[in-house]
Structure 1
Amino acid sequence: MEGKMDAQAELRIIRAAYAKQILAAAGVVDVRLARAFAAIPREDFLGPGPWLVLRWLRNYVPTPDADPVYLYTDDLVALVPERNVNNGQPSLHAHLIHQAAPAAGEHVVHVGTGTGYYTAILAHLVGPSGRVTAIEYDGALAARTRASLAPFANVTVIEGDGTQVPFDAADVIYVNAGCTQPAKRWLDGLADGGRLIMPMTSDQGFGGIAPERIASAGAVFRIERRAADYLAQWISPVAIFPCAGGRDEESERALAEAFARGDVQKITRLYRDQDIPDERCWLRGSGWCLAYH
């Protein structure tokens, strides 16, 4: 028993150091977020070890054994390796969650939960007075999320299409899959002042993409609702698993062309059903456009 307690005490120290390293890598100063990363055991969401770890320019490498210490690095860990589905890079999530700024008492909708690690971090941030609606398309992953998050009374897990599942007005919608267009459900579902974190990826934005090409194949946008207006800004390059229900061939082509033109970092607004001139639009879809001003 004493040895087990020693191991847990050691892991708490390792998690605290990991949290500091992750936020430093993300360039983020956020005490609440650091506490959340330090508090949530990553091993609780990744199944039994040893685990497969993925680093840039290398294939999966198994950890030497099932010691959770190997999970506290800024690396991806396999969830379904044969499909390239991973628990995402912690520093990227630290950056994106910081941009989402979930506050105590807020309602967060997490689209694409994987097995729930980052859902748990969001649940920690909103606290017992807040709540998280976790949506996962893949049935097997949704079941794992439900089991992993059973101790979290403020989380509801739903298996379904994150672009279609109805939810109560959200202060934060945190999307962890690459779409080619914003779902109407997300834009309608944002509360006034709500923030949508949305990765958009072309068909080149996933898999064995070279690091230097990511910026031209995927981008994460922060959309903030202000009454009927939507502010928009680019916040990160990204390569991420495609969003079921959030893609079609026509919008895929249009997005690839927009990335090829560049200027993604100049976007300031998302407009809905407004007649915005083409020269102001970075990307136009049916009933919406991302625009420069």
Structure 2
Amino acid sequence: MTPDELKIVRRAYAKQITAAVRIIDDRVETAFAEVPREDFLGPGPWPIFRMRKAYVPTRAADPVYLYTDDIVGIIPERHINNGQPSLHAFLLSQAATRAGEHLVHVGAGAGYYSAIMANLAASSGKVTAIEFQPELAAQAKANLTPYRNVSVVQGDGSSVAFDSADVIYVNAGANRPADIWLDRLNDGGRLVLPLTTDLGFTSSNWSNMQPSRGSVPRDA
């Protein structure tokens, strides 16, 4: 598939995932259309998550297979994934990110959704991508090199320091907001995180997705 053909596929993917969650947000759609998912997932074929925690490889290493509303394994043996695009599109739309804002992405994984946020923040804004796993933080730093408004920090997202933020977007389970998230959130800022229990994720986590109280899996 040629680069021009892939751009058409990516645009169709962006329209499909935003339509799937019934959002009309041109900026979110444009961000998903412009950021190449394959740049963040390594060489194919890629492991696609299916039911019962099983992964099925794509038929070939053609990036076209990544432009579906599917979860893709980053480290599948540890169930660390690049999460479902429509879920992230919905939550990013609800966060109402504006150009010029500072976004903090806790649990950045390999950096795909950090790049989406960089597009939303625009050149006048910035993104701080925090990843606990050293190998993933290194991948994210390399993958995000073209995005000049993104800095990558390796560390514990519940305690590592960062500048005050307009949006804090968490991709790791928590049974309460970390103190630093509340302390560093600007007036009028938005906090999006998955509230979990001792039982982990349950159906209620998914059915009660809301900005400032929402649910995002450890699917970065």
Take 1:235 and 1:186, find their aligned partners in 2: how far apart are those partners?
14
1:59-70 mapped onto 2 (5 Å cutoff): 59-70=54-65
Residue 17 to residue 217, structure 1, CA distance change in 2 (3 Å): closer
TM-score by length of structure 1 reads 0.71
| Equivalent residue for 2:15, pick from 11, 16, 20 | 20
Take 2:88 and 2:196, find their aligned partners in 1: how far apart are those partners?
17
The structure with more strand, counted as a fraction of residues: 1
Take 1:21 and 1:53, find their aligned partners in 2: how far apart are those partners?
18
Q: Deviations over 1:237-289 (max 9, x none)?
A: x6x239xxxxxxxxxxxxxxxxxxxxxxxxxxxxxxxxxxxxxxxxxxxxxxx
Take 2:127 and 2:79, find their aligned partners in 1: how far apart are those partners?
26
Q: CA deviation at 1:219?
A: 5.0
1:1-293 mapped onto 2 (5 Å cutoff): 7-57=2-52, 59-206=54-201, 213-215=202-204, 219-223=208-212, 234-235=213-214, 240-241=217-218
- Please tell me the residue identity of whatever aligns with 1:126: A
CA contact (8 A) 1:201 1:217 kept: no
- Please tell me the residue identity of whatever aligns with 1:99: Q
Q: CA deviation at 1:203?
A: 3.6
- Please tell me the residue identity of whatever aligns with 2:60: D
- Please tell me the residue identity of whatever aligns with 1:69: V
SS in 2 for 1:200: coil
Q: Deviations over 1:20-42 (max 9, x none)?
A: 00001111110011000000000
Q: CA deviation at 1:235?
A: 4.7
Q: Give the number of the structure with larger relative contact order, counting CA–CA contacts within 8 Å between residues 6 or more apart.
A: 2
- Please tell me the residue identity of whatever aligns with 2:172: A
Q: Deviations over 1:86-116 (max 9, x none)?
A: 0000000001101111110000000000100
Q: CA deviation at 1:205?
A: 3.0
Q: CA deviation at 1:43?
A: 0.2
TM-score by length of structure 2 reads 0.94
CA contact (8 A) 2:195 2:214 kept: no
Q: CA deviation at 1:220?
A: 4.2
Q: Could you tell me the percent identity over the aligned residues?
A: 57
Take 1:218 and 1:179, find their aligned partners in 2: how far apart are those partners?
17
CA contact (8 A) 1:200 1:219 kept: no
Structure 2: where are the runs of 5+ without partners? none
CA contact (8 A) 1:78 1:86 kept: yes
Higher Cα Rg, which structure: 1
Take 1:142 and 1:58, find their aligned partners in 2: how far apart are those partners?
24
Take 1:197 and 1:120, find their aligned partners in 2: how far apart are those partners?
17
- Please tell me the residue identity of whatever aligns with 2:171: N
Q: CA deviation at 1:56?
A: 3.6
Take 1:7 and 1:204, find their aligned partners in 2: how far apart are those partners?
46
Structure 1: where are the runs of 5+ without partners? 1-5, 207-212, 224-233, 243-293
Take 1:218 and 1:185, find their aligned partners in 2: how far apart are those partners?
27
Residue 216 to residue 179, structure 1, CA distance change in 2 (3 Å): closer
SS in 1 for 2:61: coil
SS in 2 for 1:222: coil
Residue 61 to residue 43, structure 1, CA distance change in 2 (3 Å): same
